[in-house]
């Protein structure tokens, strides 16, 4: 395995490692007969150990390009992702480039398999919103050693890879100042969070902003590590058991906020009279329900992503680019004065 460091494993490497013929290896991956199940398992296990994946587009790979870029996102339930993908596809189409979309559903294995498959010749580069907690970091580094263009969105890995994130700090500060000025003393958070939430991510920005403004973070009433669509029922279930609820909530995104909003109204509560609520992303549904949110220009974001990726594809050895999109607070009717009933 040390001999493979710094280069992409080939079928020849797998032949040497396993002692099986190239034909047997092909049958193992294609699911054809002619080899025993034990042989198939040995070949696939060895392939996994060295990071080998067959190239399904050898002709294009030899030519050096496919004219296709892969986009790997967590899901499309969050409308932000579907709207961003649409903008990326439009930007690429204008440049004569096709896109391929894959969804990980937060599966480390699914992401790894897609990356290995697509980087073997199916696509020329990848745009990835990575699975949480850097669980595939070794694979990302392997792609870099193979000189395969890779760009991360909504996350970054220090100075190792190109990345485009979102700077929420100013928008969060404006929103929290408003809540403070209308009487809120504490703010809770509901949604997904990193393993070390005080260190990285949107929640880390919220911690810092609240501390700077002298507003208490309501850790006891916060609900972490909850998927967007489950956020409302899970949060209100916890608050019901505790016998109280927060007066103001910052949600991870608009999908999370919409779930909380829906659950609140189903319980006969009013937003913002009984609960002030802030989302993020400004998806179409946000305006319809009057949700205060943080907006990112997805058209501009798509153009920036494509520009950064093109730069890496043209000059792989150019300096790493780490950029952030500006965000904007959109104040709607879901945030208001504290009622004292919470």
Label the pairing between strands 293-295 and 328-330.
antiparallel
Sign of CA pseudo-dihedral 90, 93, 95, 98: positive
More confident residue, 195 or 131: 131
Query: What pTM does this model have?
Result: 0.76
Per-residue pLDDT tens over the stretch 184-205: 999 999 998 765 555 567 888 9
Per-residue pLDDT tens over the stretch 277-311: 999 999 989 999 999 999 999 999 999 999 999 99
In this structure, are residues 330 and 292 in contact, taking their beta carbons and an 8 Å threshold? yes
The pLDDT of 74-102, averaged and rounded, is 94
d(CA 290, CA 276): 12
Give the tokens for residue 229.
């669509």
> φ, ψ for residue 329 (rounded to 5)?
-75, 130
Which helix (H) or strand (E) is 61 found in, with range?
Answer: helix 58-63
In this structure, how many other beta carbons lie within 10 angstroms of the beta carbon of residue 203?
22
What is the 3 state secondary structure string of 255-291? HHHHHHHHHHHHCCCCCCCCCEEECCECCHHHHHCCC
With a cut of 90, say whether residue 259 has pLDDT above it: yes
Q: How far is residue 252 CA from its own chain's centroid?
A: 12
With a cut of 80, say whether residue 104 has pLDDT above it: yes
In this structure, are residues 167 and 156 in contact, taking their beta carbons and an 8 Å threshold? no
Residue-level pLDDT at 200: 60
More confident residue, 201 or 212: 212
> φ, ψ for residue 168 (rounded to 5)?
-95, -5
Domains of the chain: residue spans and CATH: 2-50 (1.10.260), 63-166+297-325 (3.40.50.2300), 167-295 (3.40.50.2300)
């Amino acid at each position: 395995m040390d001999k493979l460091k710094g280069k992409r494993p080939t079928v020849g490497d797998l032949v040497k490692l396993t002692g099986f013929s190239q034909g047997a290896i092909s049958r193992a991956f294609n699911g054809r007969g002619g080899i025993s199940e034990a042989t198939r398992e040995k070949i696939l296990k060895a392939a996994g150990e060295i990071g080998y994946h067959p190239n399904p587009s050898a002709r294009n790979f030899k030519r050096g390009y496919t004219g296709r870029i892969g986009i790997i996102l967590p899901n499309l339930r969050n409308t932000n992702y579907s709207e961003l993908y649409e903008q990326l596809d439009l930007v690429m189409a204008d440049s004569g480039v096709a896109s391929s979309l894959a969804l990980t559903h937060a599966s480390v294995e699914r992401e790894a398999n897609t990356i290995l498959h697509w980087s073997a010749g199916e696509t020329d580069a990848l745009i990835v919103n990575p699975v949480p907690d850097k669980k595939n970091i070794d694979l990302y580094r392997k792609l870099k050693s193979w000189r395969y263009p890779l760009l991360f969105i909504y996350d970054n890995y220090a100075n190792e890879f190109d990345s485009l994130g979102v700077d929420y700090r100013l928008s969060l500060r404006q929103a929290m100042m408003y809540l403070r000025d209308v009487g809120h003393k504490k703010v809770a958070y509901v949604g997904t969070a990193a393993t070390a939430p005080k260190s990285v991510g949107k929640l880390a920005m919220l911690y810092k902003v609240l501390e700077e403004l002298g507003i208490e973070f309501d850790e006891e009433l916060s609900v972490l590590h909850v998927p967007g669509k489950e956020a409302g029922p899970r949060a209100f279930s916890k608050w019901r058991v505790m016998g109280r609820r927060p007066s103001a909530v910052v949600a991870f995104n608009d999908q999370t906020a919409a779930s909380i909003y829906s659950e609140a109204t189903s319980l006969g509560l009013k937003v913002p009279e009984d609960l002030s609520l802030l989302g993020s992303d400004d998806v179409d549904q946000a305006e319809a329900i009057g949700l205060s949110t943080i907006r990112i220009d997805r058209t501009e974001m798509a153009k920036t992503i494509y520009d950064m990726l093109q730069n890496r594809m043209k000059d792989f050895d150019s300096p790493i680019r780490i950029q952030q999109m500006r965000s904007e607070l959109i104040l709607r009717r879901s945030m208001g004065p504290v009622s004292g009933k919470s």
